[in-house]
Structure 1
Amino acid sequence: MSAHGPRAVSVGGSNPGIIQTGDNASATIVQPTGPAPQALAGLPAAPVGFVGRTDALEQILAFLNPAGRGWPGVVVSAVAGMAGVGKTALTLVAAHQAMTQGWFGVGVFFIDMRSYTPDPGERVSATAAAGQLLRAMGIRDTDLPPTGDEQLGLYQSVLADRAGEGMPVLVVADNAAVSGQVEPLLPAQPCHRLLITSRHTLTLPAHLVDLAVLPEADAVDLLRTALQAGRADPRAGAEPEPVAKIARLCGRLPLALQIIAALLRAEPDRPLAEMAAEMADAQQRLDALDSGDRDQHGRPLAVRAAFDLSYQHLLVDQPEQARLFRMLPLNPGPDISLPAAAALTSAPEPVVRRQLAALARAHLLTIPITGRWSMHDLVRLYADQHGVSPAADDQREQALDRLLYYYLATAEAANDHLQALPGQPVPDHFTGRDDAMAWFDTERANLVAAVTLAQATARHHIAHLLPARLNVYLHWRRALDDLLTVNTIAATASTRLGDRHGEGTALNNLGVALRQVRRFDEAITALQDAATIYPDLGDRHGEGTALNNLGVALRQVRRFDEAITAHQDAATISRQLGDRHSDGLALTNLGLALCEIRRFDEAIIAFKQAKSMFDFTKDDHSRAIVQANLTETERRQAGG
């Protein structure tokens, strides 16, 4: 493609600056072919049907606008994001609007820095870019200095001359990966501008606009708009729920939405619900996001191909980061902490922190909150698939073991804090109960998912032990669905391990959770099974606990006589064991069951005995509850 001569426009200016953006996701960008870079005078076409990005677009235009106030000092405004998020599309829209406003007129130049190509040798250096920009500005080959440094010097001289003539320049440098590629191209004159597209957050001093995936409404809007490109398509209006589902399954990523729209345009009779169902299979989703077409460089127009460019960049330049990238999908929950990532990799935390930060700068990870890292759903699928082949070299199975045991050990320490009585020694992993609760709150999704993953990977020991460390916390948070999930798995895992005691504990906890969600018949069965297991093991305490819980479930289905018997048996066991706290709980529940059938005298005796137990254990909370029950029962006995 031949370069046109320079075009000029007069424009006022504030301070020079750089805006860093990224790759195109919603428009075909005309770029030079062949290994040599080639600058274009002018811009590729702006994307058709551009949707959203209002705030980000305003920020870029404020930077480009010569009448704007800009920012003080040397300004670098960075817009960065993951592959396929639409960074170049946004840049082109902003640059074309700037031209429409007459801010640069015809003094606009475009060059592809080709950093994200499979061949590292195709990456364009700053000196090579300067030479091509000079040619696009009208400098003849015979007038170019022989060395790259000299060409950079001439580039700056030309910009200085144009500034003196009132001819400001906008240079768009597409697909840069490192600051060294573009920093020498930064104009020294305040009337010029340099826009950089990159998947990385470069280390140039910058006002950062981090381009995330589209909000749900904009993603749906983009899919509808792209679906109707070139022809009316009634499917989006007729199938609103599948449209929203497809947008979610695309991860609200513009490139994915454009590809799916192109595929659907090619099959105008295909129901959107059918496409949504195909994409619902996570293992097939990346295959579905392939247009079957190729770009001008012969690369597949597919989400996987876009991710390949970022991944290959890692493999060549940062193999240890590539290994971490492949291993992070092993974490079962939505995000991961630094200690968990360190356990996963068996590397020191400072090393892992640097690697996580680098992956975040490359927009292969996001940081939902400080100290935690997550992956976009499609990136996670991609990374996980790339972890299969090198699984042995990466020691993937051992990494998963380390991660799950980290969650088990830390949950055990946190649970100790939750159950500790005043003055009782506790692990120093947490500063106290509040700290332990905060950790549980943050890791809850990971912990529950870890139990499910342990079951799915036949790690029955973890699936059996971890739920026992979660029960107190989940009960306190009233996370009943999670309680049902982890204790159902725990009961199954204990059976497979032949651990009868673990099975009894899991059934007891499961029964309590079932009762709390009012699935009483299932609760009674689980608790009866638990109460049957414990005597065979000689575990009187477990038997008493199961009987007490069984009595509560029986009372709630109005089987009062059976409930009374269960509570009496539980109280007898506790008394024989000298466990005054459990005795007090059983007597309290016994009193409640007796009240239900108006045996007030016996209920009062039970409540008074329970109160004496809590007086002894100094359990003020339980003592207050039983006192309230006693007062109410005496009132009812008196006919009040």
Structure 2
Amino acid sequence: MPQTRNQISGGIVVGPAILGRDITVILPPQIPMATSGLPAGSPTFTGRQRDLDRLLDSLKPPGPADQTRDERARAVVVTAVGGLAGVGKTELAVQAARTALGRDWFPGGVLFADLFGYDEDRRRDPGQVLEGMLGALGVPGEHIPAHAQDRSRLYRSILAEFAAHGQRILIIADNIDTPQQGELLLPADGVNAAILTFRHTLAMLNARLLDLNVLDVDGAVAMLDAALRIADPHDTRIPAGLVGAAQLAEVCGFLPLALRIAAALLAEDPALTPAVLTGELQQVQPIDGLAYGDEGVRRAFELSYRSPTPHQQQLFRLLTLNPGPDISTTAAAALTAQPEPAVRAVLKEMARAHLIERGTAPGRWRMHDLVRQYANTLSLQHAEVDHRDQALHRLLRHYTVTARAAVAHLNPTVEDPVAGGFGSRWQALAWLDIELPHLAAAAHTAADVGHSAVAIVLPLELAFFLNWRRLFSEWITMSSLARDTAKRIGNRDGEGAALNNLGLALVEVRRFEEAITAHQDAVAVFRETGDRNSEGTALNNLGVALRQARQSEDAFIAYAGIAFAYQDPLPEVERFEEAVSAYRQHLAVCREAGNLHGEATALNDLGIALQQTGAVDDAIYTYQDALTLYHRTGDRRGEGQTLNNLGIALRQVRRFEEAVNAHRQGLAICRRTGDRRGEGQTLNNLGIALRQTRRVEEAVTAHQNAIILYHETGDRHSEAMALNNLGIALRLARRFGEAVNAHRQGLAICRQTGDRQGEGRALTNLGIVLRGVRRFEEAIKAGQAAVTIFAMAGDEYSEAVAHATLEESIRASTTAKD
């Protein structure tokens, strides 16, 4: 019987084969339809090189080493590109596909299908998509199975045959909604590859995940420019107005869809500048202005909003009530009055849908600006259904109560701070550090919407923390808010407390006259209300402000380094005497009320004032009494501060070794309590005491450590002071070059911060060290500048000291010339 032989080459046959004697069928080398549906890439694609590289890395053909790996290791050939609506997922997939085709990574071509997963009117079933893909692969219609599962099996078999014949294929399934929508389209051979784009994170697909963020400002501006130059190659509006372009990009939230629409609005009106368009968009909600024809940002978000459950939609709307940049899971639970585990699950699901994003820390969530505008519109529309006012009240109460519990760890008068819920001071500080922007925003929101109690109480609760972290600008702002709110509603107790805090914050930024006024107003309020204890506190703080208004840091001896600087008390002590009077009044009030802690504070501050009036021995006894009371009340931080003040007083009466011991004891307490500000102050004063005992190298180390602490805590004023003291110690150690550098650094900080007194002291000390190394002209120049500064400030005492050092420099210069 004659032998029948069939040969099929150059392709893959799906369907009936032709049988006959010695028949050869030669198929075309490639199926043209495989790539016919791939959209064109946009010429404005920019700012995504890193994302493109990551995606291309996952599409590379398997190399020789990959061929030998086991099947499980080769199975990750799917990349899931996720992100917010309008972020550019499809464009990235198309750009990657075209780049990969250009590199001949997919000889079999690309199969592209848009499943419209978020559009109910156009959503495609996976079975429909498989029918189209099988047709593109050359399967005749009559051989395509009826059921989706059968179609998927045939589809995967054909893809595997293509792979076996070196015809690797890339599949792009765009806009899928659920894992089930994408699973049937994935290859299973470990050679062919797939890209899925989605608005949900589909971690269950065993795919490499690539979540897209919005563009950075440079990429966004470049996209605007590219889009305009396509419409008109000579359009230079973007490079000619880069500031306006950057502002426009920010209003667009750096979202590619919004940027394309903004570019279209600019392109149709050649006279419109980016700055003007930005202004127009800010006059309305940008999400409403960013629309062009049927395409708009709101429309894209609406499609995403349809997918979540009603419970998820409600939380999405309520999240806009949070006034800060992001929100914790705990705060979201307070907002909804739901158990935290249930709310956490909903938040995770919303993040998968890219309606919200994970924040910068675990358990925190945030919204893109344009999404927030969209959600806020929905929230206002559903205010009654969502019980919006009650939700805001719950959130504000959560912030207030939790802040009180956290600050309890910083308040020495709280007996059991752990009872509030935070197990340690460090946990409390960590929460406060993270939540401060939200707490500040919550206080302002409360004032705006009529929750006056929160606008008063929350700033008052945060006072200890803001002082602890040296956040004086925030402290002033929040205390002013509390004062104004209390005054508006006639809450005299709240007004007095806010005035007291405001005065303390103003002292720290050296706005002494304003601080004195604030404390005087607080005293008047508390006298009116009959609150003797608060009146005493206000009197004490008034004394601090009065003292600081005339006090030179550390009696100036730390700076001038000359004998007569500490022989007599500072002149013009009237305000110090006023301070002494205020402290004595506070002391009487505290003793009358049996307030031991208040009595200790009054004694400590009275000691400082006595010191400044020249009654140093009395100050020492006063400090010792304060130490006894602080120890009895368990206020270790107050004890450490008083030991520091005692050391200064002991040094003034030349009891230097006792001063060193006092400072070392205070330093140990500051380190145990985590008082970094107090640690810096004590190290600085320890350095001065060590200098007086001629242990100058130890003094240098102490000042250097103080400078590090001040720099880390952002206390620029104290950093400059410590640098000047370091310069003195280095001069005594005959390390003159380092001393000059230290004084110059301190001088630079004083000039940056506008501290004219500190600048004068730095110049005086700089002149002294320059004179010591025979750089007389520079020394004279520094001395003259110091004299001028003190004369302009009306500081006769400091002017006299600076003038004396200047005369020494002039005499030394004259002698050297002779």
Mapped partners of 2:642, 2:137: distance in 1:
87
Q: Could you tell me how far 1:423 is from its partner in structure 2?
A: 6.2
1:442 alignment partner AA: I
Rate the CA distance shift 1:151–1:584 in 2: closer, same or farther, 3 A: closer
1:152-210 Cα distance to aligned partner (Å, 9 max, x none): 33323332343343322222111101111111111222332221111111121122222
Mapped partners of 1:271, 1:594: distance in 2:
66
Query: Counterpart in 2 of 1:222?
Result: 223
Mapped partners of 1:160, 1:581: distance in 2:
81
- Residues 99 and 106 of structure 1 are in contact (CA less than 8 Å); yes or no, is this contact kept in structure 2? no
- Residues 9 and 167 of structure 1 are in contact (CA less than 8 Å); yes or no, is this contact kept in structure 2? no
1:493-535 Cα distance to aligned partner (Å, 9 max, x none): 3234432212211111112112222333332222111101112
Select 2:320's aligned residue among 326, 329, 347: 329
Is 2:302 the partner of 1:302? no
Equivalent positions of 1:511-526 (< 5 A) are 511-526=503-518
Mapped partners of 2:363, 2:416: distance in 1:
31
User: Unmatched 5+ residue regions in structure 2?
Assistant: 1-9, 13-32, 67-71, 551-574, 657-691, 693-818
- Residues 285 and 373 of structure 2 are in contact (CA less than 8 Å); yes or no, is this contact kept in structure 1? no
1:122-159 Cα distance to aligned partner (Å, 9 max, x none): 32122111111122233333343333333333323332
Mapped partners of 2:404, 2:489: distance in 1:
20
Select 2:584's aligned residue among 543, 568, 589: 568
1:585 alignment partner AA: T
1:44 alignment partner AA: P
Equivalent positions of 1:583-602 (< 5 A) are 583-600=599-616
Rate the CA distance shift 1:567–1:428 in 2: closer, same or farther, 3 A: closer
Equivalent positions of 1:270-349 (< 5 A) are 270-281=272-283, 283-290=284-291, 292-293=292-293, 300-314=294-308, 318-349=309-340
- Residues 9 and 103 of structure 1 are in contact (CA less than 8 Å); yes or no, is this contact kept in structure 2? no
Mapped partners of 2:488, 2:535: distance in 1:
22
Mapped partners of 2:85, 2:95: distance in 1:
18
Mapped partners of 1:144, 1:611: distance in 2:
91
Query: Counterpart in 1 of 2:184?
Result: 184
Rate the CA distance shift 1:622–1:59 in 2: closer, same or farther, 3 A: closer
1:523-565 Cα distance to aligned partner (Å, 9 max, x none): 2222111101112222211111111111222223333343332
Q: Tell me which of the two structures has the higher relative contact order, counting C-alpha pairs closer than 8 angstroms and 6 or more residues apart.
A: 1
Q: Could you tell me how far 1:81 is from its partner in structure 2?
A: 0.9
Mapped partners of 1:425, 1:96: distance in 2:
62
- Specify the structure having the higher radius of gyration (Cα): 2
Query: Counterpart in 1 of 2:95?
Result: 93
Which 10-residue stretch deviates more, 582-591 or 176-185? Answer: 582-591
- Residues 112 and 174 of structure 1 are in contact (CA less than 8 Å); yes or no, is this contact kept in structure 2? yes
Rate the CA distance shift 1:307–1:187 in 2: closer, same or farther, 3 A: same
Rate the CA distance shift 1:307–1:207 in 2: closer, same or farther, 3 A: same
Mapped partners of 2:407, 2:101: distance in 1:
62
Query: Counterpart in 2 of 1:23?
Result: none
- Residues 163 and 192 of structure 1 are in contact (CA less than 8 Å); yes or no, is this contact kept in structure 2? yes
User: Unmatched 5+ residue regions in structure 1?
Assistant: 1-7, 11-37, 294-299
- Residues 610 and 626 of structure 1 are in contact (CA less than 8 Å); yes or no, is this contact kept in structure 2? no
Q: Percent identity?
A: 42
Rate the CA distance shift 1:425–1:377 in 2: closer, same or farther, 3 A: closer
Q: Could you tell me how far 1:591 is from its partner in structure 2?
A: 3.4
Is 2:48 the partner of 1:53? yes
Query: Counterpart in 2 of 1:624?
Result: 643
Select 1:360's aligned residue among 347, 351, 356: 351
2:47 alignment partner AA: G
SS at match of 1:109: strand
Rate the CA distance shift 1:534–1:495 in 2: closer, same or farther, 3 A: same
Which 10-residue stretch deviates more, 52-61 or 349-358? Answer: 52-61
SS at match of 1:405: helix
Q: TM-score, normalised by structure 1?
A: 0.86
Q: Give RMSD over aligned pairs.
A: 2.6
Is 2:463 the partner of 1:471? yes
SS at match of 1:229: helix
SS at match of 1:111: strand
- Residues 407 and 447 of structure 1 are in contact (CA less than 8 Å); yes or no, is this contact kept in structure 2? yes
Rate the CA distance shift 1:443–1:489 in 2: closer, same or farther, 3 A: same
User: What is the count of residue pairs matched by the alignment?
Assistant: 591
1:57-106 Cα distance to aligned partner (Å, 9 max, x none): 12221222214577924213322111111111111110001111122246
Mapped partners of 2:218, 2:585: distance in 1:
60
1:397-446 Cα distance to aligned partner (Å, 9 max, x none): 11111111111111122222322569646415111222111111121111
Mapped partners of 1:114, 1:141: distance in 2:
24
1:93 alignment partner AA: Q
Q: Could you tell me how far 1:327 is from its partner in structure 2?
A: 0.8
1:560 alignment partner AA: F
Which 10-residue stretch deviates more, 397-406 or 486-495? Answer: 486-495
SS at match of 1:85: coil
Mapped partners of 1:39, 1:175: distance in 2:
19
Query: Counterpart in 1 of 2:170?
Result: 170
Q: Could you tell me how far 1:631 is from its partner in structure 2?
A: 1.0
Rate the CA distance shift 1:228–1:598 in 2: closer, same or farther, 3 A: farther
Mapped partners of 1:163, 1:272: distance in 2:
50
- Residues 131 and 151 of structure 1 are in contact (CA less than 8 Å); yes or no, is this contact kept in structure 2? yes
Mapped partners of 1:98, 1:126: distance in 2:
25
Mapped partners of 1:165, 1:415: distance in 2:
70
Query: Counterpart in 2 of 1:30?
Result: none
SS at match of 2:381: coil
Rate the CA distance shift 1:584–1:346 in 2: closer, same or farther, 3 A: closer
Rate the CA distance shift 1:362–1:569 in 2: closer, same or farther, 3 A: same
SS at match of 2:219: helix
1:251 alignment partner AA: G
Higher helix share: 2
SS at match of 2:168: coil
Mapped partners of 1:141, 1:510: distance in 2:
81
Q: Could you tell me how far 1:50 is from its partner in structure 2?
A: 1.4
Q: Could you tell me how far 1:472 is from its partner in structure 2?
A: 0.8
Query: Counterpart in 2 of 1:533?
Result: 525
Rate the CA distance shift 1:9–1:399 in 2: closer, same or farther, 3 A: farther
SS at match of 1:630: helix
Q: Could you tell me how far 1:248 is from its partner in structure 2?
A: 2.1
Equivalent positions of 1:362-401 (< 5 A) are 362-368=353-359, 369-401=361-393
Mapped partners of 1:493, 1:201: distance in 2:
45
Q: Could you tell me how far 1:484 is from its partner in structure 2?
A: 1.8
Query: Counterpart in 2 of 1:5?
Result: none
Q: Could you tell me how far 1:607 is from its partner in structure 2?
A: 4.0
Query: Counterpart in 2 of 1:115?
Result: 117
Query: Counterpart in 1 of 2:237?
Result: 235
Mapped partners of 2:412, 2:34: distance in 1:
69
Mapped partners of 1:499, 1:423: distance in 2:
28
Mapped partners of 1:284, 1:432: distance in 2:
44
Is 2:463 the partner of 1:502? no
1:313-360 Cα distance to aligned partner (Å, 9 max, x none): 23xxx1111111111111111111111111111112221111100111
Rate the CA distance shift 1:423–1:45 in 2: closer, same or farther, 3 A: same
Rate the CA distance shift 1:540–1:447 in 2: closer, same or farther, 3 A: same
